Copies of this chain bind each other. A is one copy, B any other.
Amino acid sequence: MSTATAFDFTPLLPAGLPAPAARWTGLARYSFVGGNNDPDQVPVEGLVEAVNAVLRREGKTLATYGLASGPQGYRPLREFLTAKLKRDAGIACAADDIMIVSGSLQALDLVNATLLAPGDTVLVEQETYQGALSRLARLGVKAVGIPLDGDGMRMDALAAVLADHKRRGVTPKYIYTIPTVQNPTGSIMPQARRAEMLELSRQYGVPVFEDDCYADLVWSGERPPAVYAMSPHGGVIHVGSFSKSIAPALRVGFIVAPWEMMSRMLALKTDAGSGALEQMVLAEYCAPHFATHVPKLTRGLRAKLDTLMEALDEQFGTSAEFEDPKGGIFLWVKLPDHVDTLKLYQAALAAGVAINPGPEWSTDKGYAGCRLRLCFASPSHAQIREGIAALAEVCRKQFGVPERSANVEKRARS
């Protein structure tokens, strides 16, 4: 064999690929990004007990794809979910109405693959999950943003956009909503507004795609029924996750959907099943422990949110504006209009502070340009305080705000 120059893959790459990834260089020292959770709240002992019990009882079934539960996932986990969804979200469904997936991201991919083609239009909340927006962009699908208020998606705006599209002969493929602990704003859509949304869905023949993956993390412990639960017509696809309630590195989410959608998504789920051990452990742990674990988790998250809001007050003073979210793991913050959070993101990262710049979480890049998302579940209380101080220092150097006196002002006030 002759020696040869390195093989060149470039001529083989099709058009339209995303930019190549950079080498991973580790987590930021102060990380306020990603859906990471509080390491001290992972129920390690409970998971150990669960995995011992379930492996000793059923470990041999790991020899079979799908654990002899079929392509919709481990049946005991689906049975836990039917009880949990009934109790928490008012959803009456059977185990056969549920499909376990590899995190709610796979749910997004399956729903999109079933309904979307390039050139299609979908309606989304104007501020919404970055991973949903990036998927739609990659698919060549137009995401039309519907403005939000403190109660989530505005129904007057939704009605106007639906009517406008109907006049133009365009049927949007779905209305994507995160109604319970909206990402990134943290609002909860009231029950009456959910009913309005369903009526518009029926009227225009556009299904609702309900992403409920933060819905377990409500400070009050109470939430409205899921949109899925309220629907009189069945035109709702409901998605949830164990990432926020137990641990994100366990890649387990689920879809509840009518069989017409489910049978199409199953045909597209060609991964030979989602991870079985993670499904087994979750079923074994959650059946006895979920209802007591979650309130403990949310109390800890609420305390971290308080630390974050105090740190922002102390470091940014009146330069940082935000609403107190009703649950979740993130805070949506407005800085003064002239701050460009895409630039702030770069400078902060260089200083060891990772943030989510607003434009990545909105269809309105102008509106979101001075906004950012801060995730507070993963850093410790001390890291939150130090990281926000470091962020304020970077922001002051780059944009002149907060003024140096903010800290003193705030202290004088309190």
A residues lining the B interface (CB < 8 Å): 1-15, 17-24, 26-27, 34-42, 44, 47-48, 51-52, 55-56, 59-68, 70-72, 96, 102-103, 105-106, 114-117, 120, 131, 134-135, 171, 173-174, 195, 198-199, 201-202, 205, 207, 230-235, 247-252, 258, 260-261, 263-264, 266-268, 270-278, 281, 377-378
Contact = CB atoms under 8 A, between A and B. Distances in A.
Contacts of A55: 44, 47-48, 51
A170 to B, nearest CB: 12
B260 A274 contact: no
B247 A63 contact: yes
A72 B23 CA distance: 10
Given A24-B71, A38-B63, A52-B52, 8 more contacts: A17-B264, A42-B60, A47-B55, A48-B59, A102-B274, A248-B272, A249-B277, A250-B276
Contacts of A35: 65, 272
Contacts of A15: 117
Nearest to A2: B232
Given A52-B52, A251-B274, A267-B21, A4 B202 contact: yes
A57 B247 CA distance: 16
A205 to B, nearest CB: 7
A2 B195 CA distance: 11
A271 B251 CA distance: 9
A27 to B, nearest CB: 6
A135 B116 CA distance: 19
A288 to B, nearest CB: 18
A273 B251 contact: yes
Given A7-B202, A48-B55, A17 B267 contact: yes
Contacts of A263: 20-22
Contacts of A105: 270-272
A305 B117 CA distance: 46
A18 B267 CA distance: 6
Contact of A63 (B39, B114, B117): B39
A20 B267 contact: yes
A47 B61 CA distance: 13
A265 to B, nearest CB: 8
A21 B266 contact: yes
Contacts of A275: 102, 249-252, 274-275, 277-278
A270 B135 contact: yes
B171 A12 contact: yes
Contacts of A64: 27, 34, 36-37, 39, 248-249, 378
Which of A41, A42, A64 has most B Cβ within 10 Å? A64
A18 B268 contact: yes
B63 A378 contact: yes
A75 to B, nearest CB: 10
B11 A171 contact: yes
Nearest to A196: B1
Contact of A272 (B27, B103, B258): B103
A48 B56 contact: yes
A148 B260 CA distance: 42
Contact of A117 (B14, B195, B260): B14
Contact of A3 (B1, B27, B62, B232): B232
A24 B73 CA distance: 11
A379 to B, nearest CB: 11
Contacts of A134: 270
23 contacts: A1-B199, A2-B232, A4-B233, A8-B260, A12-B115, A13-B115, A14-B115, A17-B114, A17-B264, A20-B263, A23-B96, A35-B272, A37-B64, A42-B63, A47-B59, A48-B51, A61-B249, A62-B247, A63-B247, A63-B248, A63-B378, A65-B248, A277-B281
